[in-house]
Amino acid sequence: MRDLGVLEFLDAARADGRVRFPAFSFHGQAVDFPRIIDAYDWAFGQIQFNYMDVDYQAGHAGLRYAADRSVGVVVMEPIKGGKLAANLPTDVMRIFDGTTVKRTPAEWALRYVWNEPGVSLALSGMNAMEQVLENLAVAEQGVAGSLNADELALFDEARRVMRARIKADCTARRYCQPCPSAVEIPAVLASLNAATVWDDPNQWLAGYPHVKGGASLCSECGQCEEMCPQNLPIRDLMKEATALFGC
């Protein structure tokens, strides 16, 4: 993008008033994040960050790198697409429920993000008024440095337990779609995770495309792996899903 003149384009757009605050959204490798931060006078960068994704893409190190250079940080996926707000595995819930301070899973997740002084804004998806009210209430308490060492240790343990259970860390951004063989890759991976992460066995078939779009249609062309920002071994995962679900 630099070689194609994007920085000169931004200079011109700022000069004529089309752009006031240049910014970028990051979905790449960790090594590239500091290079982008240092390449321009950015107002902010947008990254994925939550207590599960501390080493993913820009991660915790990238967040600190941007903040140390006075670049704003907007956090997307603070609750990992809702995965950290509902139906947490029993062994993870046990970690949070064992504390004297009682918080919902969503509150724990949001408090972790807001505890970071470098976070300028957290983008939390809400689809019900009670979630809006909860988020507003939590935001009153979720300030930088508000979690103590014991509370931060809970996230380390929860992360360890969850990472041991997750089969495919897909955020369903659908960069892998459309598949030439018509495999609904995000849906397949969601069901594969449900089969390995959640305690409820009924989750095994939740959302699984039994006939159209099933994993068994995979031709192993590899196009999806070239497009996946998570660098998932999708072809191997399709084989696992086929063996597990039978289609």
Same domain, 160 and 193: no
Taking only the tens place, the pLDDT of each residue in 134-176 is 889 988 888 899 999 999 999 999 999 988 888 888 877 889 9
- 151 part of a folded domain: yes
Q: What is the mean pLDDT of residues 201-207?
A: 55
* 22 — pLDDT class (breaks 50, 70, 90): very high
Residues 55 and 135 in one domain: yes
- pLDDT per residue as tens digits for the range 96-115: 999 988 999 999 999 999 99
Domain CATH code at residue 144 = 3.20.20.100
- For residues 89 and 189, state if they share a domain: no
Whether the predicted pLDDT of 87 surpasses 70? yes
Residues 117, 64 within the same domain:
yes
Buried b (16+ CB within 10 A) or exposed e, 130-150: eeeebbeebeeebeeeebeee
Structure tokens at 151: 């509370």
Statement to judge: residues 200 and 134 lie in one domain: no
Q: What is the reported pLDDT for 148?
A: 94
pLDDT confidence of residue 96: 93
205-240 residue pLDDT tens: 555 655 578 899 999 999 999 999 889 999 999 999
Segment 170-183 shows an average pLDDT of 90
pLDDT of residue 213: 86
| pLDDT for the residue 56 | 87
pLDDT for res 205: 59
Quick check: is 56 in a domain? yes
Q: Are 53 and 59 in contact (CB under 8 A)?
A: yes
pLDDT of residue 75: 97
Share of the chain above pLDDT 70, in %: 94
CA dist 188 → 45, 96, 168 (Å): 31, 30, 10
Q: Which of 34-43, 116-125, 150-159, 163-172 has the lowest mean pLDDT?
A: 163-172
Instruction: Examine the domain organization and report whether 195 and 87 are in the same domain.
Output: no
pLDDT beyond 60 at 25: yes
Mean pLDDT of 28-44: 95
CB environment 55-78: b (16+ within 10 A), e (fewer): ebbbbbebbebbbeeebbbbbbbb
Q: In 3-state terms, what secondary structure has residue 121?
A: strand
Domain total of the chain: 2
For 163, counting Cβ atoms within 10 Å of its Cβ (0-12 exposed, 13-18 middle, 19+ buried), the class is exposed
Same domain, 106 and 12: yes
Strands of 121-122's sheet in order across: 23-25, 44-48, 72-76, 121-122
Q: What residues contact 21, with CB distance under 8 A and at least 6 apart?
A: 43, 44
Q: How many residues can be counted in the chain?
A: 247
Cα→Cα distances 241→213, 221, 223, Å: 12, 17, 18
- pLDDT of 208 reads 60
Residue 161 lies inside a defined structural domain of this protein: yes
Q: Do 117 and 204 share a domain, yes or no?
A: no
* Residue-number span of the structural domain to which 202 is assigned: 185-245
**In angstroms, rounded to a whole number, what is the distance separating the alpha carbons of residues 19 and 42?**
12
> Of 24-33, 48-57, 91-100, 167-176, which range is least confident?
167-176
- Report yes or no on 90 lying in a domain: yes
Can you count the helices (H) and strands (E) in the chain? 10, 4
